Structure 1
Amino acid sequence: MSVQGIDQLLGELKAMSAQAAGQSAAPAASDTGAANFADMLKSSIDQVAQVQNSAEAQQTAFQSGDPNADLQDVMVSLQKASLSFQTMVQVRNKLVSAYQEIMNLQV
């Protein structure tokens, strides 16, 4: 997930929080925000999958003896894939925690 994506997510969360506090009725804006959030989440997951697939392809090329496959490049790509997956898991954990907290709020 890029810094720009995180900033956009924070902006949307602040806007939703302001709407909830002011109780202004804007259902169309919240539907649009939900779609943007879903699209952003899907694109982030797709990026993680792409990094993992690329690392796996480089690893397979190195194992098959491809002369263009360098061990250092393979190791770096595997570490990038691992780090991106761990980041995605942490973001998911935060989202689940936030969802549970919202569900426990008394209205």
Structure 2
Amino acid sequence: MVNKISAGNMQAEMLASMQRMQLQAAGAGISPPTLPSSIGTPSFSAVLNSAIDKVDSLQQVASQKQRAVDMGESDDLSGAMIESQKASIAFTAMVQVRNKLTQAFDDVINMPL
């Protein structure tokens, strides 16, 4: 014999199951997770200064490698060119970030009140 499942029985079972879960959650004292107040994220200025320092160090490395090739101390021309390109790309990216920040600042300043 086949058991027929009616919509009323199924709904009653689901409601009872939900009520049991609600009671379990209330009894266990489950609270939503909270984030710690200080996660340790660096400030915007610290991140920006770090990026500028990184670009500066890339430019210094490229300059040292180029100087070594120019003075005949090294024959690693390809390494010097690669470092030069790395420094160039990093500098271009930094300029683009500066342009975006300047544009955002101008947009905020020109915002109607």
> What TM-score results when the alignment is normalised by the length of structure 1?
0.64
Q: Does 1:100 align with 2:109?
A: no
Q: 1:14-43 CA distances to partner (integer Å, 9 max, x unpaired)? A: xxxxxxxxxxxxxxx9xxx8x700111011
Q: Could you tell me how far 1:50 is from its partner in structure 2? A: 0.3
- Structure 1: gaps (5+ residues): 1-28
Q: What residue number does 1:55 align with?
A: 62
Instruction: Give the SS at the match of 1:46.
Output: helix
- Structure 2: gaps (5+ residues): 1-37
Q: Percent identity among equivalent residues?
A: 39
Q: What residue number does 1:24 align with?
A: none
Moved over 4 A (4+): none
Q: Could you tell me how far 1:46 is from its partner in structure 2? A: 0.5
Q: What residue number does 1:13 align with?
A: none
Instruction: Give the SS at the match of 2:111.
Output: coil
The structure whose RCO (Cα within 8 Å, separation 6+) is larger is: 1
Count of aligned pairs? 75
CA RMSD of aligned residues (A): 2.0
